Amino acid sequence: MSPDVEAVAGARRWLAGRARWRWWEIAFWLAAAASFVLLPSRHLILAEIAILGLFALSLDLLLGYVGIVSLGHAAFFGVGAYAAGLMAKHVGGEPLLGFAVAVFAAATVGLATSFLVLRGADLTRLMVTLGVAMLLGEAANQWSSLTGGADGLQGMTVAPLLGLFEFDLFGRTAYGYALVVLFLCFLIARRIVNSPYGLSLRAIRDNPLRAAALGIAVDRRIVGVYTLAAAMAGAAGALLAQTTAFVSLDVFDFNRSADVLLVLVIGGAGYLYGGLIGAVFFKIAADLLSAQTPQYWHFWIGLILVVLVLAGRDRLGERLSALARRARLTGGAP
Amino acid sequence: MLTILFDGVAYGMVLFVLACGLSVTLGLMNFVNLAHGAFAMAGGYVAVTLVNRHDAPFLLTLPLAFLVPAAIGLVLERTLYRHLYTRSHLDQVLFSIGLVFMSVAAVDYVMGSQQQIIRLPGWLQGRIDIAGVGVGRYRAFVILICAALAVTLQVVLARTRFGAQLRAAVDDARVARGLGVEVSRIFALTFAVGSGLAGLGGALGAEILGLDPHFPLKFMIYFLIVVTVGGVSSITGPFLAALLLGIADVAGKYYVPGAGGFVIYTVMIALLILRPHGLFARAR
Amino acid sequence: MTDALATIGLVRRFGGLVATNDVTFALARGARHALIGPNGAGKTTFVNLLTGVLAPTAGRILLAGEDVTGLPQDARVRRGLSRTFQINQLFPDLTPLETIGLAVSERLGHGGDVWRVVGTRDAVLEEIVSIASRFGLIDALETRVGGLPYGKQRQLEIAVAFATRPRVLLLDEPAAGVPERERRALIETIAALPRDVSVLLIEHDMDIVFSFAERISVLVDGALFAEGAPDEIARDARVKAVYLGGATHG
């Protein structure tokens, strides 16, 4: 049977259209680059946003693409932060080396714990991931000869990036570094979610039983993407450690895991930009709110969460994606 | 040694009272309420405020520590929680984390962030000797109260009409409704009682666990462990789990201060993987 | 010649309940075989055992002579055992193009590609299109699956299972819930499946069973109760009794 040439071409066009860069994506990254040049006085908070955005992006790979809920994603953030911190303290040298080691360490821990989330419903996964983060936090607390325990890891010396860019007080190097890492990680994530592998992840998210019946090796895919997400979370942790030259136990905090979940949910899961947009919103809101009511700003974050859920997080997302579909249909017409 | 065991039992008993409400909402109603600790905190603060600022007798504050969180629980259940029973666990988690954040910040704002120390009446202070073992009077008191509560709960759930209706509603809400059980009323009542018990636990435990605005976050994992390890098929499971956890935690902190947390978290993870329905659950 | 699919002494217990009771069964190559039985006879459990959703308590499963008892679902699919589901198990947010593409990519070994954009392999695209035209889905390729009419979704169920190029295809009540006017097309689709695919049909609708099957097995209380050609089964008084008895109990 000779396949319908036109239909094949149509299918190819349609699939290529899904992976194409859209104008707003380019605008988003141009704006990010512009912020580096135009907002030098805001580099410190922008660096924090980029780091949080990367952390949320890593969670999006789990929650948004393969449907794994985690209440302990800070576990990998923390491992990355401590690995980078220890490298800076004991080995010194190039931050990129410390970064690579941190990513590797977080990926290793991710791989090792990924087997714990293969089985079980959401609730089991929530508690297992939470337990892993608590366990690692406890380990960092107890092993104080290495980590400094509750006092935090002190005495980090972070060498200039590439031997050229000193980490300055104004966060210029920090933001540049964080933004470049974020962009590279984003490119990797984007490439992967648009691949056959990424498509199979979405299939697993929607219906793991059916995915397996198509011949997809569900467990292997979950292990793979969990490890990748852990590596990216570790990258975010390493960035935090290197740009602030300090690591404390709060990198493993439940609050951090909860915050990143919130950031992702605010921005919307499952399209990669949610974590980034959520991070911008979250940090700015936190900045404004804590200027008004320092110490109590989590109250407002909590309120946002409650309202968001009651108003229907999913429905909100559906409405947005319906809008996006319509925009695509009208914009994509030849 | 026996003193530690005794302290552990008291600690475990308080954990049981704190967590048993959660074992019903999470275990039976399948609702992930991470804000359970917030109700406990409410009870604790009711008791502390009344005793320390208004010189109310400690015993009299206990019923209030039950009633106030129960009332809050009832109102929240009727207005907010009941809309979320059918939602995904993720939504429930986000919602209840939101409540936790709000309660932590609100209590911090109103009461301050310092640790609250409850002023116990004289007759509950000090130690008594039972068969040569030095026993804290307050801990003995707590054990008695909690044991009585556990027995009452078991009887209510197993023997009364309400217990039967709750079990029916949880088993299959549709069928229960068909049989004339007012499922939503039962759930509301159960939620209120669970919240009230948490509050009572918070009041009783203020002296043993400590009480500050971060209470809901600090003890969330303990409640979850009690429920997970204990399973949900009866009150006995969570009760034994709470006792084990209490003794292990107290003994661990005393004998091997380094390892306590590890053991507890590791056991929890292992159990979740191997026995997702809890250690004491019967296979269905 | 070895059978396409066979079970030897297959048992599955849930607690005290025996859902599959010592079933020894063979599906011949190229068979058009139907498995029937009253509600609760254990048909779905049997399918779940065959496909690897459940692990048997005892017994063995052979796929073209190879023991697959311990293999996970996806490994059995790669060895040529595929199934459809009684209730649609599709991905509502994907399109038929993507859904069939998943199965085709997996079979050709490209499913794990992380660094290649979807839709850039001509071999995969051509096969998707050829399967879609075979199952009447060519015009629906780019529509969200959740928005397709029910009959089209049932067609897609079969198309997706077919896209894994099965040697053995298990059809679990393919016509369940399909409205009358879309039923005809579905039955024709099933009848037109190529002869080198051995088919086991699990079905309630006796019209479909008797128009399709060349051999029928009856499952009662988890055990094989009778097996034979359609006219033998139709004449079998015991089968009739079971069915009438089962029917009165609903």
Q: Is the pLDDT of residue C207 over 70?
A: yes
State the SS3 of chain A.
Answer: CCCCHHHHHHHHHHHHHHHCCCHHHHHHHHHHHHHHHHCHHHHHHHHHHHHHHHHHHHHHHHHHHHCCCCCCCHHHHHHHHHHHHHHHHHHCCCHHHHHHHHHHHHHHHHHHHHHHHCCCCHHHHHHHHHHHHHHHHHHHHHCHHHHCHHHCECCCCCCCECCCECCCCCCHHHHHHHHHHHHHHHHHHHHHHCCHHHHHHHHHHHCHHHHHHCCCCHHHHHHHHHHHHHHHHHHHHHHHHHHHCCECHHHHCHHHHHHHHHHHHHHCCCCCHHHHHHHHHHHHHHHHHHHHCCCCHHHHHHHHHHHHHHHCHHHHHHHHHHHHHHHHHHHHCC
pLDDT tens per residue, range C33-68: 999 988 888 898 999 999 999 999 999 999 999 999
Which of A98-107, B47-56, B95-104, C216-225: highest mean pLDDT? A98-107
Residue A79: both structure tokens together: 């491992």
Best probe of the B interface among A126, A141, A206, A309, by most B CBs < 10 A, is A309
> What is the pLDDT at residue A3?
55
Say if residue A129's pLDDT is above 90.
Answer: yes
| Residue A219 touches partner B, C-beta closer than 8 Å | no
Instruction: Flag whether pLDDT at A114 surpasses 90.
Output: yes
| pLDDT for position A297 | 81
pLDDT cut 70: percent of chain B above it: 94
> Is some CB atom of chain A closer than 8 A to the CB atom of B19?
no
Distance from CA of A210 to the nearest CA of B (A): 20
Q: Residue B194: inside a domain, yes or no?
A: yes
How high is the pLDDT of residue A240? 96
Whole domain around residue B84: which residue ranges?
2-213
Q: Find residues 41-100 of chain A whose CB sits inside 8 Å of chain B.
A: 63, 69, 71
Which of B260-264, C64-68, C139-143 shows the lowest per-residue confidence on average (mean pLDDT)? B260-264
Nearest chain A residue to B90 by CA distance is A69
pLDDT digits (tens, 9 = 90+) for A10-24: 899 999 888 899 999
Confidence label for B237 from pLDDT (cuts 50, 70 and 90): confident
Domains identified in chain C and CATH numbers:
5-248 (3.40.50.300)
User: Residue A276: pLDDT above 70?
Assistant: yes
- The one-character DSSP state at B123 is G
Contacts of B10 (CB under 8 A, 6+ apart): B136, B139, B140, B142, B143, B208, B246
| B248 within a domain of the structure (yes/no) | no
Residue B124 within a domain: yes
Helix (H) or strand (E) holding B15, with range, is helix B2-22
Interface confidence, given as ipTM, is 0.89
Indicate the pLDDT class of residue B95, thresholds 50, 70 and 90.
very high
Q: What's the pLDDT score for residue A331?
A: 40
Look at residues C18, C36, C157 and name the one whose alpha carbon lies nearest to residue C100.
Answer: C157
Residue B138 is assigned to a structural domain of this protein: yes
Contact B95, A308 (CB under 8 A): no
Percent of chain C whose predicted confidence (pLDDT) is above 70: 97
Model confidence pLDDT, tens digit, residues B108-165: 888 888 888 888 877 777 777 776 677 778 888 888 888 898 888 888 888 888 888 8
Q: Using the predicted structure, report yes or no on whether residue A220 has a pLDDT greater than 90.
A: yes
**Residue of B97, B102, B265 lying closest to A258 (CB–CB):** B97
What's the number of CA atoms in the CB half-sphere (13 Å) around residue B91? 19
- The reply to whether B142 falls in a domain is yes
pLDDT classification of B282: cutoffs 50, 70, 90: very low
Residue A307: how many other CB atoms lie within 10 Å: 11
Q: List the domain boundaries for chain A.
A: 22-292
Partners of A123 on chain B (C-beta within 8 Å) are 26, 32, 89
B62 within domain boundaries = yes
A126 and B83 in contact by Cβ < 8 A? no
In a domain, B226, yes or no: no
CB contact under 8 A, A216 and C111: yes
Q: Which of A294-303, B185-194, C47-56 has the highest mean pLDDT?
A: C47-56
Residues of A in contact with B79 (CB under 8 A): none
Which of A181-185, A218-222, B261-265, C72-76 shows the lowest per-residue confidence on average (mean pLDDT)?
A: B261-265
Token output for C42: 């254990």
A282 to chain C, minimum CA–CA distance in Å? 29
CB-CB neighbors (< 8 A) of A195 in chain C: 113-118
- CB contact (8 A) between residue A216 and residue C106: yes
Check: CATH 1.10.3470 for A22-292? yes
Contact B202, B211 (CB under 8 A): yes
Residue-wise pLDDT for A231-244, tens only, equals 999 999 999 999 99
Average pLDDT over residues C130-140: 91
pLDDT reported for residue A37: 92
